[in-house]
Amino acid sequence: MRKYRNAEIQEVTVQDKFLSPRMAANRQVTVPYSYKRCQETGRIDAFKLDWKEGMPNRPHIFWDSDVAKVLEGMAYVAAGKSDPELEKTADALIDLIVSAQQPDGYLNSYFSGIQPELRFKNLYTNHELYCAGHLIEAAVAYFQATGKRKLLDAMCRYADYIDSIFGPEENKLKGYCGHEEIELALVKLFRVTGNQRYLNLAKYFVDQRGQEPNYFLEENKRNKTGAYPERMIVFQAHKPVREQDKAEGHAVRAVYLYSAMADIAAETGDRSRLDACNKIWDNLTSKRMYVTGGIGSSRIEEVFTLDYHLPNDSAYAETCADIGLVMFASRMFNLTGDGKFMDVLERALYNGLLAGISLEGDKFFYANPLEVTGHFIEAGHVKAVRQPWFGCSCCPTNLCRFLPVMGSYLYSIGANELMINIYAAGEAEFNLGTGRVKLQVESSYPWDGDINIRLQEATTGKFTLGLRVPAWSPEITVKVNGQVSNNTTENGYVKISREWRKDDKIEIKLAMPVTALHCHPEVSYNSGRIALQRGPLVYCLESIDNKAPLGSIIIPEQQDFKLKAIDSITPGAIAITGSAFIENPEASADLYFSGIPAKAETTFTAIPYCLWQNRGPSEMAVWIRTV
């Protein structure tokens, strides 16, 4: 059922000035830094199972997931670039993790070392299967990167044990995890081992969710913790998945579930799951997604709330949720070939997701608001300043494993088709049809829309090359060996089928104007405001560039916006400048007053949202008043 697959890490070398430095910072800083923090906080030592009362760093129920994500990141780094020392560290960590496995196959540092009597007694909140999922993903990644099976074999034993506990058969638990993750991990395990048992278990966990009697409500009654039917929506357990048609509940859990639904649809050909994914997608992207690609509008339970409820200063838009949205979008594109999914993937990746980590790679946002005032900064609000670590450090560790695989989203490969999704500079080499295709992309994407592609090798004969036409570009010109291509656009891609040969050249020009975006009128927070976008990048104002309070700045949208370099943030970056007005603060000193506020002419500078707060604490706003 799946039309395409993502590129493999080893097939793509990213060499651009936008994504490549982020990947290098992850390799050189984020992964070793996060590993060190996992050591310092006791996350790694927890696998020794020797913690006693009175000792520091009492293990926590989700610590295994943090260690697993760092290990998965190490695997991807090793896959992209040989690093014997990194591999040695990873091997030692795997030895420690496997040493904590129980004779029956169970593997969880908290419940083996702290509360063994509570094993699988509280699926609602205890993250056991969630941790198992991340360990499985780390095992698959490390096996694929190195060929070493020690962790993979251990996780197969754990998955076999889980399968002996859960399922539709009599005397098995009818439960599923409060925080989805194991579902998509089991599909990965099935793909690498070919063992149908793991796919069946993934299907069971997905399909059992929300069925009656509701497992979480029954479990909470047994545990005497209170049974609250209205809270089932937070866990996507309010109804069976095929009946769900809105993005609901905890945003990260939701997109992990939807990713698993898409994976299972791809493996089984079950259109009912895909139909549900499409309905949820339409609701999510048309009514519940920020312009930055952020999702989850409330910090209370980190949830989606209501249609068009997208507040700016209190936006949660967790970094993990952006990562999950990219995962979901990629799966939906590979299932359908519809470019609308890639448009959202790019929006989330190039904006909200990369805003979650500093350029240096050692400071992080958990939440990604679209507005930060000076009052937030003065109060020391955690959302106003990137942090070096968190008690719940799911976001830093998730970035460890996501940033190394960004190149895999640039291309999708099908049956004699090669789709170029994002025009980042670099090289790629694929087995396609009866031969190989190797190409080089030269571009300054996303800073301009001029792209040159050269086929360095093409031994496969005739195949289809798909060139994405982003929704943000009003015009595209494609030339093949100097001749303008008149191929039509299909599902957001120009598709060219021909006998490709070595040294064939493709020139692409994407119009990349500055666009003033308006918001749906039901999003009351943005009434009378605009957001600026150029190419895939959403822009924002920072007070470091705009000395007036950002709320007093008014930008007329009918003007010729200018571009200027902002190498002070990162080489090659481009800002948007133009004319603006500022309200006279003296005329509005009172909280409420009559009359028309006096305005003075000024100028503004806007920078890409993904680069904000890389020059110190600053006010920030994406949506700006307009006339």
- Mind listing the pLDDT tens digit for each residue in 484-532? 998 889 999 999 999 999 999 999 999 999 999 999 999 999 999 999 9
Q: At residue 260, does pLDDT exceed 80?
A: yes
CB 323 within 8 A of CB 402: yes
Q: What is the phi-psi region of residue 128: left when phi exceeds 0, alpha when psi lies from -120 to 50, beta otherwise?
A: alpha
pLDDT digits (tens, 9 = 90+) for 56-106: 999 999 999 999 999 999 999 999 888 899 999 999 999 999 999 999 999
CB 259 within 8 A of CB 324: yes
pLDDT digits (tens, 9 = 90+) for 447-456: 999 999 999 9
| Residue 519 annotated among the catalytic residues of the structure | no
Domain boundaries, the chain: 22-208, 412-510, 515-625
Q: Which residues of 398-419 are buried (b: 16+ CB within 10 A; e: fewer)?
A: bbbbbbbbbbbbbbbbbeebbb
Q: What are phi and psi of 565, to 5 degrees?
A: -75, 145
| Consecutive H or E run containing 319 | helix 319-336
| Consecutive H or E run containing 260 | helix 251-268
CB 527 within 8 A of CB 593: no
* Overall average pLDDT of the 455-466 stretch: 93
Please state whether the peptide bond connecting residue 103 to the residue before it is cis, i.e. omega within 30 degrees of 0. no
pTM for this prediction: 0.97
Match 């608001």 to its residue by tokens. 369
pLDDT digits (tens, 9 = 90+) for 193-206: 999 999 999 999 99
Task: Determine the angle formed by the axes of helices 196-208 and 182-193, rounding to 10 degrees.
Answer: 160
Catalytic pick among 156, 277, 394, 540: 394
Tokens of 550: 């950002």
The reported pLDDT for the residue numbered 594 is 82
Q: At residue 460, does pLDDT exceed 90?
A: no
The one-character DSSP state at 202 is H
Match 């039509």 to its residue by tokens. 488
DSSP reduced 3-state for 281: helix
Q: At residue 165, does pLDDT exceed 90?
A: yes
Q: What are phi and psi of 4, to 5 degrees?
A: -135, 165
> What is the rounded average pLDDT for all residues in the chain?
96
Q: At residue 588, does pLDDT exceed 80?
A: no
Which pLDDT band, with edges at 50, 70 and 90, does 604 fall under?
A: very high
189-193 contacts at long range (C-beta below 8 A, 24 or more positions apart): 189/136, 189/139, 189/140, 189/155, 189/156, 189/159, 190/267, 192/140, 192/143, 192/144, 192/152, 193/152, 193/156
Q: What are phi and psi of 283, to 5 degrees?
A: -65, -45
The reported pLDDT for the residue numbered 589 is 67
The reported pLDDT for the residue numbered 598 is 84
* H-type alpha helices, 442-495: none
Which pLDDT band, with edges at 50, 70 and 90, does 379 fall under?
A: low
Which pLDDT band, with edges at 50, 70 and 90, does 110 fall under?
A: very high
Q: CA-to-CA distance for 464 and 415, rounded, in angstroms? A: 9
Burial (Cβ within 10 Å: 0-12, 13-18, ≥19) of residue 153: middle
Tokens of 514: 């500055």
Q: What are phi and psi of 2, to 5 degrees?
A: -75, 130
Smallest Cα–Cα separation from 329: which of 413, 412, 389? 412
CB 562 within 8 A of CB 576: yes
Q: CA-to-CA distance for 564 and 573, rounded, in angstroms? A: 9
Which pLDDT band, with edges at 50, 70 and 90, does 461 fall under?
A: confident
435-441 contacts at long range (C-beta below 8 A, 24 or more positions apart): 435/459, 435/460, 435/461, 436/460, 437/463, 437/500
**What beta strand segments (E) does 302-416 contain?**
371-372, 411-414
Q: At residue 377, does pLDDT exceed 80?
A: no
CB 354 within 8 A of CB 326: no
Which pLDDT band, with edges at 50, 70 and 90, does 227 fall under?
A: confident
CB 9 within 8 A of CB 404: yes
The reported pLDDT for the residue numbered 587 is 58
The reported pLDDT for the residue numbered 383 is 67
* H-type alpha helices, 338-437: 339-347, 354-355, 374-378, 394-402
Tokens of 35: 């590993």
Query: Between 162 and 567, where is the model more confident?
Result: 162
The reported pLDDT for the residue numbered 497 is 95
Q: What are phi and psi of 389, to 5 degrees?
A: -175, 170
586-589 contacts at long range (C-beta below 8 A, 24 or more positions apart): none
Catalytic pick among 219, 302, 371, 542: 302
* Overall average pLDDT of the 45-53 stretch: 97
Tokens of 613: 């707060």
* Overall average pLDDT of the 253-261 stretch: 98
* Overall average pLDDT of the 158-181 stretch: 97
CB 31 within 8 A of CB 67: no
pLDDT digits (tens, 9 = 90+) for 557-585: 999 999 999 988 999 999 999 999 998 76
Tokens of 350: 């190039």
| Residue 394 annotated among the catalytic residues of the structure | yes
The one-character DSSP state at 616 is S
The reported pLDDT for the residue numbered 585 is 64
Task: Determine the angle formed by the axes of helices 150-165 and 182-193, rounding to 10 degrees.
Answer: 120
CATH code for residues 412-510: 2.60.40.1180
